[in-house]
Amino acid sequence: MTPSPENPALARIQQNVLARSERRLLTWLCAHLPAWVTPDKLTVTGMVGAVAIFLGYALSTFSAEWLFVALGGYVVQWLGDSLDGSLARFRHIERPSYGYFIDHSCDGLAVLLILAGMGLSPFVTMDIALIALAGYLLLSIHAFLSARVIGELKLSYLAAGPTELRVLLIALTIAMYVQGKAADVLGDYSGYDLLIGGVGTILIALFVIQTIATGRHLANVDRR
């Protein structure tokens, strides 16, 4: 039987730098959350954080002070997104198929909101933001296909995962506030564009490399 999201054979592969420290913090938070806090409420909280990030970036066109809304949104989004599944597992109330579907659907929407907001800001051009979005979606497609065909859900690449990317984006947002709109360094593109575009390019390259590697592995498996 091919492993599926509801099958316990599905392995979560998470090898990012902050994974252990984050896991200890999340476990501590789960142990201290009141009973009325539920995984579904945390999922909604994460989406509220994503909307705040979108608004913070989009409204920074009028004032850089709005970037503080985006910064607060990252904290809220991390809490909601990281704690919902952790709390369900901590309390042994998992709903594997429902949780898998809702969690990753919300992840996709959250990334869309973050990058669309960034593209509407005066700091990053929309075409560069869309390249980063395409990279995220392609790598997500690879992760979900791998979960179906080899039973592994890879949640980190190059020792980085969602938390490391949030830290990078928080640092970038602080730089936006401190330095303001950066001068163009490559045609009409600023240093912010080059950073976000570089991340997007790396994600696309990882998709291609991982697709080739997984394809070769599956070809060998099917020959047996």
* CATH number for the domain harbouring residue 200: 1.20.120.1760
Any domain includes 198: yes
The answer to whether the CB of 30 falls within 8 A of the CB of 90 is: yes
How high is the pLDDT of residue 176? Answer: 93
CA 203, CA 189: separation in Å to the nearest integer?
Answer: 20
The answer to whether the CB of 53 falls within 8 A of the CB of 77 is: yes
In angstroms, the Cα distances linking 25 to 28, 88, 137, 169, 171 are 5, 15, 28, 21, 21
Q: Which domain holds residue 134?
A: 11-223
pTM beyond 0.85: the answer is yes
How high is the pLDDT of residue 154? Answer: 78
Any domain includes 150: yes
How high is the pLDDT of residue 10? Answer: 67
How high is the pLDDT of residue 52? Answer: 98
Any domain includes 4: no
Residue 28: burial class (beta carbons within 10 Å; 0-12, 13-18, 19+): exposed
How high is the pLDDT of residue 3? Answer: 39
Any domain includes 1: no
Beta bridge partner(s), residue 13: 154
Any domain includes 3: no
Task: Report, as ranges of residue numbers, the positions in the chain whose pLDDT lies below 70.
Answer: 1-10, 183
How high is the pLDDT of residue 9? Answer: 52
Please give the tally of structural domains in the chain. 1
How high is the pLDDT of residue 49? Answer: 97
Any domain includes 167: yes
How high is the pLDDT of residue 169? Answer: 95
